Amino acid sequence: MTDASAITDGRVLRGERNRTALVEALLELVDEGDVHPTAPRIAERAGLSLRTVFQHFADMESLYAAVADRQTERVRALVAETVDPSLPLARRIDGLVEQRARFYETVTPVRRASLLVAHRSPELTARLEGVTRYLRRQLATTFEPELAALGRGRRSDVLSALEVATSWETWDSLRRGQRRSAAAAARTVRVLVGATLGTMGS
């Protein structure tokens, strides 16, 4: 390797390290409760200059995109598997609620921060909508035996009700609005899901 190539490779590696440090710094700040970290605070946490932020990210939107990618990597495993639809209904409800509880407890700080800026960030809006679609498909698969017995319109209504019952918004309302513990919130979600599926035919 020539000296010039070594210098170039070193710069590339340093750039990648700096980019990663900035992304991790933003996530750390959000996890700690700073729901709207500024570029100066991100740079300070990463131990880099403010100029470095905009050397690696043209604007905050491109930084949000990189952070969304990293957040996806961090939490993907929490909802990667759909609960086996062949299991008894009670076990499926328990499995789904346990999975959602772990997922929501992990993503809540980033979710709250994302919602503050999503109205002016097409990137974050698209990512949030993608998560919502994924979780709805997961519900449809998990409870397919019950939903398959319904007509198209009724199926859509019940699936929408399940989506509300198991949504992050419902979880956040229970945890923050009602100040319930994670265990208590999970019990409430189980009641909501069970009631929805138990009254499908009415």
* 41-45, 50-54, 186-190, range with greatest mean pLDDT: 186-190
Q: Are residues 108 and 142 in the same domain?
A: yes
CA dihedral (126, 127, 128, 131) positive or negative: positive
| In-domain check, residue 155 | yes
Q: Are residues 12 and 110 in the same domain?
A: no
| In-domain check, residue 20 | yes
In this prediction, residues 82-86 reach a mean pLDDT of 93
Task: Give how far Cα 18 sits from Cα of 8, 34, 51, 63, 164, Å.
Answer: 15, 21, 12, 12, 40
Q: Are residues 10 and 108 in the same domain?
A: no
| In-domain check, residue 7 | yes
Residue 187 CB contacts under 8 Å (≥ 6 apart), including other chains? none
Task: Give how far Cα 103 sits from Cα of 6, 62, 100, 138, 167, Å.
Answer: 43, 25, 5, 14, 11
Q: Are residues 108 and 175 in the same domain?
A: yes
CATH number, residue 32: 1.10.10
Q: Are residues 165 and 80 in the same domain?
A: yes
The pLDDT assigned to 201 comes to 43
Q: Is residue 53 scored above 90 in pLDDT? A: no
Tokens 């035996």 found at: 145
In DSSP notation, 27-77 reads HHHHHTT-SS--HHHHHHHHT--HHHHHHH-SSHHHHHHHHHHHHHHHHGG
Q: Are residues 106 and 152 in the same domain?
A: yes
Q: Is residue 183 scored above 80 in pLDDT? A: yes
- Residue 72's CB is within 10 A of a number of other CB atoms, namely 12
pTM: predicted TM-score of the whole model, two decimal places: 0.82
Residue 16 sits in which domain range? 3-57
| In-domain check, residue 133 | yes
Q: Are residues 10 and 44 in the same domain?
A: yes
Number of Cα atoms under 13 Å in the Cβ half of residue 48: 23
Q: Are residues 185 and 113 in the same domain?
A: yes
Q: Is residue 13 scored above 80 in pLDDT? A: no
The pLDDT assigned to 10 comes to 58
Q: How many domains does the chain have?
A: 2
**C-alpha dihedral, 84 to 85 to 88 to 93, nearest 10°:** 80
Question: CA Rg, the chain, in Å?
Answer: 21
* pLDDT, mean over the chain: 89
* 48-52, 53-57, 139-143, range with greatest mean pLDDT: 139-143
User: Which pLDDT band holds residue 2 (cuts at 50, 70, 90)?
Assistant: low
Q: What's the rounded Cα separation, in Å, for the pair 198 and 158? A: 11
CA dihedral (114, 119, 123, 126) positive or negative: positive
